Amino acid sequence: MAVKYFTVTWDQLHRDSRALAWRLLELGPWTGIVAITRGGLIPAAVIARELECRVVETISIVTYDEEERGEARVVKSPVAAGDGTGWLVIDDLVDTGTTLRVVRALLPGAHVATVYAKPAGKPLVDTFITEVSQETWILFPWDTEPQFVAPIARLT
């Protein structure tokens, strides 16, 4: 199956994060937000601002050792969130669900929201904005820089 690329700009990420905040507003109020590092940090900051939430915690889960996918390992727990009841967990993307399975086990009472969702991980998310195909690779603005790209017609 061919890999597709979807480039997300800073403006698009901000708009999509605000759209997610609109959906989450009616589900609150929230005790706080747990941002999944690193991809969830920027959407969590936007959402915290929009929901006027001042309590932001983080969880750090490592699933790669260099370039090899390994077993998910929590390197920083969200201690303040308890079992997650009343808390909102934010990430940029759910792909296979590996990270969110760990988060769900640690914070079973939390509401999990992502900006983007792929089919394999979608069942682990309570709220999301945009679904992309499983073979789509999202290029986030912190991972890219502007450069020339060949026209689509040349890629086929």
d(C-alpha 45, C-alpha 35), whole Å: 8
Q: How far is CA 33 from the centre of its chain?
A: 13
Q: Which of 11, 16, 92, 126 is catalytic?
A: 92
Q: Could you say which of 65, 83, 91, 143 is catalytic? A: 91
- AA letter at 102: V
Tokens at residue 98, please? 């590996």
Residue 54 CB coordination number (10 Å): 9
In this prediction, residue 152 carries a pLDDT of 83
Task: Give the percent of the chain with pLDDT over 90.
Answer: 81
95 is known as an active-site residue: yes
Classify domain 29-132 by CATH architecture.
Answer: 3-Layer(aba) Sandwich (3.40)
pLDDT digits (tens, 9 = 90+) for 27-57: 999 999 999 999 999 999 999 999 999 999 9
Is 83 in the active site? no
User: How many CA within 13 A on the CB side of residue 25?
Assistant: 13
Q: Are 130 and 115 in contact (CB under 8 A)?
A: yes
Residues 101-123 pLDDT 10s: 999 999 999 999 999 999 999 99
pLDDT at 155: 77
**How much is the pTM?**
0.88
Catalytic residue among 16, 83, 95, 126: 95
Percentage of the chain beyond pLDDT 70 is 94
